[in-house]
Amino acid sequence: MTLEEAIAQRWDTRTKPQGSLGRLETLAADYCRTKNHPLPRLEAIGLYLFAADHGITEEAISLYPSAVTGQMLDNFRAGGAAVNVLAGLHQIQLHIVDAGVGRGTHNFARQPAMESDRLDAALQAGRMQAREAASLYDAVGIGEMGIGNTTSAAAILAALAGRSGSEVAGPGTGLSPDQVAHKAAVIDRALALHSLQRTHPKEILRCVGGLEIAQMTGFLLEASELRLPVMLDGFITTAAALLAQAMHPPSRAVMLFAHRSAEPAHQRMLQMLDAQPLLELDLRLGEGTGAILGLSLLRAAVLLYRDMASFTSASVSEAGPIH
Amino acid sequence: MTLEEAIAQRWDTRTKPQGSLGRLETLAADYCRTKNHPLPRLEAIGLYLFAADHGITEEAISLYPSAVTGQMLDNFRAGGAAVNVLAGLHQIQLHIVDAGVGRGTHNFARQPAMESDRLDAALQAGRMQAREAASLYDAVGIGEMGIGNTTSAAAILAALAGRSGSEVAGPGTGLSPDQVAHKAAVIDRALALHSLQRTHPKEILRCVGGLEIAQMTGFLLEASELRLPVMLDGFITTAAALLAQAMHPPSRAVMLFAHRSAEPAHQRMLQMLDAQPLLELDLRLGEGTGAILGLSLLRAAVLLYRDMASFTSASVSEAGPIH
C-alpha cells in the first residue's frame, strides 16, 4: 500500500462521512506526506520568533519608532505580548531569536541592507535554529518582529515578481493612503538603486531584506532538508517563504500557510506559492500569532486522524446504497 | 465611560497596532456585549450535542441507515467520535443529549413530524439544558447528530425563506446529484402537504422539524434570556438559529457563528442571520466539531483581550506622527 493509499484508507474508515472534515483531512494528509509516514506523531510544537531592526525606518515608513522592536523583544521575554498569550493557551514553546536588534540593517533606500558575509551568517544562523527545532519538535511555526519590515517584505515581493512599489506597498501597522504612497515611492527608489527587478533571490535579500527575513529563509531551507513542517505566519514570513522557494523550489513542500493577512499584497505572495491558507481573520500583527492559530488547527487535524474510532471498532454502520 | 468605550480603550492600549488582531478583536467585543461587562471571564466552556432520529429517512434521503444515529450516540459516549477528540484537545466539556433516539419524528413527507405537545416538550427540554449550561459555563457551543436531519433543516430554510426544495437541498453526508434532486422533491412534497410557505416558525418546526432541532431552538431562546453566548456549528444548528430568530429576534444577540459549512444552502441561512462565520474549512460533519473550533478562537480572543500587557505596563512606545 502506498502512502497515499494508507492516508485515504485511514481517513475513510474513521466514523464520519467521507471527506466531511474538509480542510482538516487535507491538512493531516499534507503532514503525513512531509513526514513520509502514514501515522506520524504530532506532540511537541515550537514557535520561532525572529526579531531585527531595519535601517529603512529612517525613511519614515512606519507609525512606530524603531525602538519599539527592542521594547517588544523585552515584552516577549516578559510574557506580555499577543504571541505569549496564544503560545501559552495552545502549549506551544516560544523561542525568541534576536536576529539583529540594535545592530539592524542599513537603510536600503541608500545602500544595500547588508553585506554579503552578514547575509551568509544570517542564513546560516537560521539553518542552525531549524536544526535545533527539528531535534525538539514535531512541527514548528515561524513569526517575526521588526519595525519597518513590511517595507522590506514588500520590496522583496516587488523584486521577485517584477512589480512596482504601488502594487506591493500596504498599510502595515496602519499607514494612511498618503503614507502608503510614500512607502511605495521608497520601494521604487530602492528597486532602481539596486537594479533588482527579477534578479537572483539571494541578491534581493542582501539588498532590500532584513536580518530576521534572512534567518527565516535559512530556517526554511534547512527545514526542507530535515522534513520539518513549518507553519508560516503573515506577510513578512511569507516573503521569506518566497525567497526560500526561489532559492530551492522543493522547500515549498514543508511549508504550511496559517492565514491570509489583512496586508493586501499577501494574497499575491500566496498565489506565487500556490498556497491556500487555513484562516482569514484580518490579522496583521505578525509575531507568529497567526501561525499559532494555524498550528492549533494542525494539531486538531492530526489528532482526529490518529485518535478517532473506525467504523469497525465503534460498531457503526458505513454508508451504502440507499435502501 | 460606556461599555463600547471601555472595550475600545482596552483593545487600543494593548501592545499591538490598533485593530491588528482583526476578527479576534470584534469577537472579544461581541462577547463583552453579550455579557454586558467590560472584562468578562471566559473559563469553563461546554458543548451540548443533541441527537434524534428522523422519520423522513423512510424517503431514502441519506446514504446512512437511520440506525447510525444510535450507533453514533454510543460512539460519543465511548469517546471515539470526532467531537470527542476535539473536545478533549480544547478542554471543552461534552454533554450528550438524547432528544429522541429510538423514538424520533414521524415521516414529514406524509404527516407532521411531531404533535404539538411533543414540540412543546422538546422546546422546554432545550430551555432546561440552557439553564443548566448557564449555571456551569461561561460560554457554550451546540452540535447535533441525526441521520436525515439535513433534509429537515433544508425544509425549515425553504419554509422560512419561501424557497423551493432545489434551492435548499444539498449533498448532506455525500449524496449524488440525482439523490439531491430526489431530496429536493421530497422537500417540495412536504412543503405542499403542510402548506408551509412563510407560515409561523413554530408551525414549521412542528411539521418538518426534528426533535434535536426543536431542543436547540429552545436552548437558544433560553440562552438569550440568560445572556449565555452560544457558538453555532453548521447547517442544522443554523436552522435552529433561524427558528429562534424568527420566534424571538433579540435571541440573535447571543449567537456566534463558527464556520461556513460545505453544505451549499448554509450560506443562505447565514445571510438571513447577517452572520459572518469565523472559519471556512469545508466541514460538513456536524456533531459540534465546527463549534469547538470556533470556541477555541473565542477563548483565544478573550484571553488576548484580558491578558495582554498594555503599552504603559510593558514600557512600549505607542504609534505617533511619523518623525
- Please tell me the predicted confidence (pLDDT) of residue B264: 95
Summarize the confidence of residues A210-234 as an average pLDDT: 98
User: Phi, psi (5° rounding) for residue B251?
Assistant: -65, -20
Residue A229 above 80 pLDDT? yes
Residue A225's identity, in one-letter code, is E
Q: Among partner residues A14, A80, A323, which is closest to B314 by beta-carbon distance?
A: A80
Spatial distance between the Cα atoms of B255 and B141, rounded to a whole number of angstroms:
10
CB of A268 closer than 8 Å to CB of A161: yes
For residue A319, the model assigns a pLDDT of 87
Average confidence (pLDDT) over B150-167: 97
Query: Does residue A243 contact residue A215 with C-beta atoms inside 8 Å?
Result: no
pLDDT at B89 over 80: yes
Does residue A147 contact residue A63 with C-beta atoms inside 8 Å?
A: no
pLDDT at site A323: 54
Among A71, A179, A323, beta carbon nearest to B317: A71
Contacts of B283 in chain A (CB under 8 A): 20-24
Mean pLDDT confidence for B73-95: 98
Confidence of residue A155 (pLDDT cuts 50, 70, 90): very high
Question: What's the pLDDT score for residue A262?
Answer: 92
Stretch 171-190 of chain B: residues touching chain A, C-beta under 8 Å: 173-174, 179
- Chain A residue with minimum CA distance to B276: A281
Biggest CA–CA distance in chain A, Å, is 75
Give how far A149 is from chain B: nearest CA, Å: 14
Averaged pLDDT score across all residues of chain B? 97
| Alpha carbons A174 and A321: distance in angstroms, whole number | 56
Tell me which chain A residues have a C-beta less than 8 angstroms from the C-beta of B24: 281, 283
> Which of B59, B222, B263, B287 is an active site residue?
B287
pLDDT, mean of residues A219-240:
98
Q: Hey, how many other C-beta atoms are within 10 angstroms of the C-beta on B41?
A: 11
Best A53, A149, A285, A315 residue to mutate vs chain B (most B CBs within 10 Å): A285
The CB density around residue A2, as the number of other CB atoms within 10 Å, is 8
Burial (CB count <10 Å: 0-12, 13-18, 19+), residue B198: exposed
**Res. B321: pLDDT tops 90:** no
Report the run of H or E that residue B51 belongs to, with start and end.
Answer: strand B45-52
Q: Which pLDDT band holds residue B199 (cuts at 50, 70, 90)?
A: confident
- Is B287 a residue of the active site? yes
Confidence of residue A311 (pLDDT cuts 50, 70, 90): very high
Other CB atoms within a 10 A radius of the CB of residue A188 amount to: 18
Secondary structure class of B111 (helix, strand, coil): coil
Percent of chain B with pLDDT over 90: 97
Q: In the structure grid, which three cell numbers stand for residue B183, read together?
A: 431530496
Q: What is the mean pLDDT of residues A222-238?
A: 98
| Confidence class for position A320, pLDDT limits 50, 70, 90 | confident
**Does the distance separating the beta carbons of A323 and B60 come in below 8 Å?**
yes
Residue B323 pLDDT greater than 70, yes or no? no
Q: Which residue has the higher pLDDT, A280 or A173?
A: A280
Give pLDDT tens digits for A287-308: 999 999 999 999 999 999 999 9
CA distance A270 to A256: 11
pLDDT computed for residue A322 by the predictor: 72
For chain B, what's the residue count?
A: 323
Q: Which residues of A are identified as catalytic?
A: 287
Q: Are B316 and A71 in contact (CB under 8 A)?
A: yes
Lookup result for grid cell 488582531: B21
| Global model pTM greater than 0.90 | yes
Which SS3 state, helix, strand or coil, does residue A102 take?
Answer: coil
Say how far apart CA A55 and CA A237 lie, in whole Å.
Answer: 19
pLDDT value at residue B241: 98
A164 vs A187: CA distance, rounded Å: 8
Query: Is the pLDDT assigned to residue A60 strictly greater than 70?
Result: yes
Amino acid at B56: I
Q: Does residue A198 belong to the interface with chain B, where contact is any CB pair within 8 Å?
A: no
ipTM for the predicted complex comes to 0.97
pLDDT of residue A79: 98
Amino acid, single-letter form, for residue A219: F
